[in-house]
Structure 1
Amino acid sequence: MSDRCIELEQAVSANRRAWDDSARLHRDNASWRDLTAGFAVPGYSTFDATMTRTLEGLRLQGQSGVQIGCNNGRETLSLAAFGAERCLGIDQSAEFLKQAEILKGIAGSDCEFLCSDIYTLPPGVRRGFDFAVITIGVLNWMPDLGRFFQAVAGLLRPGGRLVIYETHPVLEMFEPDSETPHLPAYSYFSTAPTVAEQAITYDGSSGQAAPPSYWYSHTMSGIVMAVIRSGMAITGFEEHPHSNRETCFDVYENRQAQVPMSFTLAAVREAG
């Protein structure tokens, strides 16, 4: 086994422990109450305006979808609002998937959830999906984008579509909580992961100690080429001036010298 494989497996296992440990902080708060109330209403969706417009353009009625890195399942369940059927959410955190099952029960959904590392999917995993969805933060938890997108492509049927809605890599250069948030703090081309030992929360409010986790920065060219090399053809790409991650990054919005803050990318799995 090569050092690269050892490093990948160690990072993936560490991130699983960190997410499982952090799951408790995402229950019994205002966001969780909003989700439980929302999914009791037919047609409820947690997607923002950008992703809603993107998904509506795909005309997903009757189509099967898979979300990689589904967390507590809120977005996988939201796909039903666009007419998608027979959807699957994949995540390696068993603790977050327990929350997904609760929300599934509230929604009365027939979607499924699978606890698995995307790099080592079980042999009997469902495949041949019409579309796949990847959203905020998933790519940065992936040590190897090439293997990741190969696995994603393998879940799609020929002609199946991929939609990514992610943080723009340029934002990884900045430290929003520093005294000089608008000065680049990190190299755009850095390959070493950032190691954190705090619990993972969406609003950054916890500060509680947690098992170490590894966050990887990827360049836009690295993302694009990994998609292409997996056997998918890019059909759309758009950069956005708004943030789709923690609120501390809002400091970079609405500036005269505006940086790209998020992006959407569409691709299709080629035949053969």
Structure 2
Amino acid sequence: MDTLSAQQAIASNKAAWNESAELHKATDHWQSLLAAVGEPGFSCLDPTLTALLLQVGVKGRDAVQLGCNNGRESLSLYGLGANSVVGVDQSGAFLAQAAQLASRSPHSPEFIEADIHHLPERLQGRFDLALITIGVLNWMPDIALFMRHVASTLKEGGTLVIYETHPFLEVFDPEAANPMLPVTSYFRREPFVQHEAIVYEGASNSAVAASYWFVYTLGEIVSAAIAAGLQISHLQEYPHSNREELYDQYENQSAQLPMCYTLTAIKRSA
């Protein structure tokens, strides 16, 4: 990054998320979450991630979610039997929403406001399971450094679970005149820059702080995990979408794109 430092990008992304937070509460989805989190066994995790977490094993384990947003997925880990859950996010505004959801829940997760690069020391080597879900990796300006910090939270033998959008999707623009035509390189180096609110439902033209979306190849993500001392134990790609509805149009094609993937990696002994 020649003209933009990593810390500048992190700070600007934090400001953009904080400014966008209220827009996420003004949705039917938020109201349904408020109503649902108090139910025994609440989970908003889809079947793909649920099956993987059950296979890895969550029951009785201590878990951390890095990039927990409003905490809905962190709370869902209790439904799979987690012993304790910590959610980490850099957006105080979204963590306020997480606290509100937790107050409606029978569980007591801990939510921590922190940039992943400045995690509290008490989180190091503490967890059996670290979870990363859609829309976390691409906010990180240095994937290798990010993976080292993720690995630092795990006990020896602990497992990282990732469920993310496939990076090949970044080649396409779902709102283009021809959404099936590649518009950028899979090997793009510069981040996408957005000056609009970050919303997943509907649209908003609100002017907010710039947000920076970094693109990594699948090879870079895997290599970063390995370099951080994590042993890849599972990698699977899928033809379904786990992001905004705009991307549903890429499903069920005769020439099908990879649309998302799951990855698990185990922390090796030093």
Q: Match of 2:40, SS?
A: coil
User: C-alpha displacement at 1:58, in angstroms?
Assistant: 1.7
Partner residue in 2 for 1:232: 230
- For 2:73 and 2:15, how far apart are their aligned partners in 1? 22
CA RMSD of aligned residues (A): 1.3
TM (norm. structure 1) is 0.96
Structure 1 gap segments, 5+ residues each: none
After TM superposition, the runs of 4+ consecutive aligned structure 1 residues lying more than 6 A away are 3-6
2:108 to 107, 110, 118: 110
Q: Deviations over 1:78-134 (max 9, x none)?
A: 000100021100000000000000001101212100000001113343542000000
Task: State the AA in 2 paired with 1:209.
Answer: A
Q: Match of 1:66, SS?
A: strand
User: C-alpha displacement at 1:209, in angstroms?
Assistant: 1.6
Instruction: Please say if residues 196 and 212 of structure 1, whose CA atoms lie closer than 8 Å, have aligned partners that are also in contact.
Output: yes
Partner residue in 2 for 1:249: 247
Partner residue in 2 for 1:95: 93
Q: Deviations over 1:151-184 (max 9, x none)?
A: 0000000000010000000000000001010000
Structure 2 gap segments, 5+ residues each: none
Task: State the AA in 1 paired with 2:167.
Answer: P
Instruction: Please say if residues 204 and 246 of structure 1, whose CA atoms lie closer than 8 Å, have aligned partners that are also in contact.
Output: no
2:48 to 40, 47, 50: 50
TM (norm. structure 2) is 0.97
Task: State the AA in 2 paired with 1:170.
Answer: F
Mapping of residues 1-272 of structure 1, within 5 Å: 7-125=5-123, 127-272=125-270
Q: Which is further off, 9-18 or 100-109?
A: 100-109
Q: Percent identity?
A: 46
- For 2:2 and 2:160, how far apart are their aligned partners in 1? 27
Q: Which is further off, 122-131 or 12-21?
A: 122-131
Task: State the AA in 1 paired with 2:52.
Answer: T
Q: How many residues align?
A: 270
Q: Match of 1:130, SS?
A: strand
- For 1:191 and 1:12, how far apart are their aligned partners in 2? 17
- For 1:230 and 1:21, how far apart are their aligned partners in 2? 33
Q: Which is further off, 199-208 or 245-254?
A: 199-208
